[in-house]
Structure 1
Amino acid sequence: MTLTRTYISCAILSIISASLYANDQTDTLEIKSEKSSIQLSPLVVKAIEDKDVGITVYTKEDLEKTPNNKKTISELLKVNSNVQFTNSEKAAGSQAEIHASDISIHGALPYNNAFLFNGMSINNDINPYESNSGISDPTSLKGNSQAVTLNIDLLCNLEVLDSNVSAQYGKFTGGVISATTCAPKTVVGKIHGNINYDYTSSDWYRFNYIDSSEESDFEDTTQTNAQKDFNQKGISLNTYGRLTESLGFNLGLSQRKSDIRSTSKLSDARPYNEDRTSTNINAELFYNPSNDLEIKFSAQNYSDESTRFNQSILTNGYNQKSDNQSLQLSIRNDFPLFSLTNNIRLPS
């Protein structure tokens, strides 16, 4: 019996010793593991967009942050080094104009550019090279390369293609300026919007003259080619939202006006005050039943109006209007190997 107890005691002691040894080894490994742990600095990986040569894209954020007192595309493009303007567009005597300015891309004539809005041409095909500024002539049809003036407050994206232009564009030898609106990407059931108002006056301008002769000509109130007494104001409203998961809308309204004060050369020196007005109305419905199908229906009404005088002629003024009304249906369908887009436009 004594021998049996001894064997049992030895077995129990062996088990306890092995357990203690295992616990000791575990603690040792944990201590070693803690001592060998090293905290590394976070590694941040950023993806850089591969930009195509000859294409400049202005996002909604760029359009909002870039200074633009006239709210026009041409005014925005003054920050683009590949876009040139005539000296008359930069002159102090033309600052009252609010309509789109003529631009040149890589030296091409202004009317050789392609101006697009949601894929539709807004080029002036009637008289694209007659200046909008200068002395009024009753036999002259004023205008420029763009038939109407778009307010950038209503846009979400602008592309300028000055080289390596795709074959999908046509009717140009200069460059392509493509403005677009976008489907809202907001929470379903919530309507969003913004309203902007701006005002400026010639009283806030300072004009510098080369000599006394130039100053005398500029201060002459009968010279309509020197717009030195004016005020401008504009208001724009944009509201958008998603009514359902697949249905959204966008409504944009804008009007800008410039009042130019001048005097006739007639004996009674009556006031011959001119004005410029630009109006934009745009309504869109977006339907996206799936990731592969997008349908957009839109209605647009854009107009540029002006009242002008010839300071030496007794008249009630010359009224001119350039407008663009249209309905558009756009359907884009993505297939495994290609994408098909159809645009149907009904101009008035």
Structure 2
Amino acid sequence: MRPISYSRATDTATAVAAVSADPTSDFLAGGTTEIDLLRQNILHPRRLVDINSLPLTGIATTPEGGLSIGALARMSEVAAEPVVRERFPMICQALELGASAQLRHMASMGGNLLQRVRCSYYRDAESPCNKREPDTGCSAIDGFSRGHAVLGTSEHCIATHPSDVAVALMALDARVHTLGPRGERAYAFDDFFLLPRDSPHREHPMEHGELITAIEVPATPVARHSLYLKVRDRESYEFALASVAAALSVVDGTIADVRVALGGLATKPWRARRVEDFLIGAPANRVNFDQAARVELADARTTPMNAFKVELARRAVVRALETLSGDGSESPA
């Protein structure tokens, strides 16, 4: 048994100072991922600093019409907030499809963004894994890779990012606010998640002791007409094989604005910018939706086990955009 010391922080600055001063310490919020990894002998902190008493739970609108979500707001609280449901339905749907009610009541929004991958090789503590132990190899590349990534991969890691709500937030150009040893910082959402490249163990640009304080979602009028489509092996709570966060504005049959991000397919929440660039100004029809998806997925790198994901993703993108445009009869459920 490994001894772990525990303390409870009462203010944000104290929490940051406590973790920053000790390289073997870590923050503890909802614990829905961290406790699992402690039990599986994947994480080895010697000290946990409980941050649940910090005043980071607010959900507020900004003067411009956006959102400010405290890092310790629970997933269920954000999903139930009327203004979120009205202005950003893709966020609510992603949260509700992301976990059981019990987990949503515990899991924090900041912790959701930082949750670790669900790759079985990462979590068994025995197999070589560059994400868990750098320079040991990636067991998934030649192993069981059915659920692994086809976009944003490298020869060092093909693990899929697990978050659902991060996909919706990526489509909405969210920003992550933090407080660390060097003061306050704000990260564009796309910059907050790092591709594996040669250092898959480094998933975020934050330094040790840097704490997420809030998630900012800018005013996005097109988000009122949005959805989150999740394709998985079973209807009960399961990680995505492919998911699409999409928002669409069509004026006189022409696409005026579109936002698309993909989940279950990449090593980070994946902004489908090729889809967006292809569709802006184009007629809203199935042919264009299909071609835009093909352009986005042209660089997919597959294994024999996960090659089906390319076709699955293409169909999911088309289905999501058809649902929003009314060009098809599919349901987003």
TM-score of the two chains, using structure 1 as the length reference: 0.22
* Larger relative contact order (CA 8 Å, sep ≥ 6): 2
TM-score of the two chains, using structure 2 as the length reference: 0.23
Bigger CA radius of gyration: 1
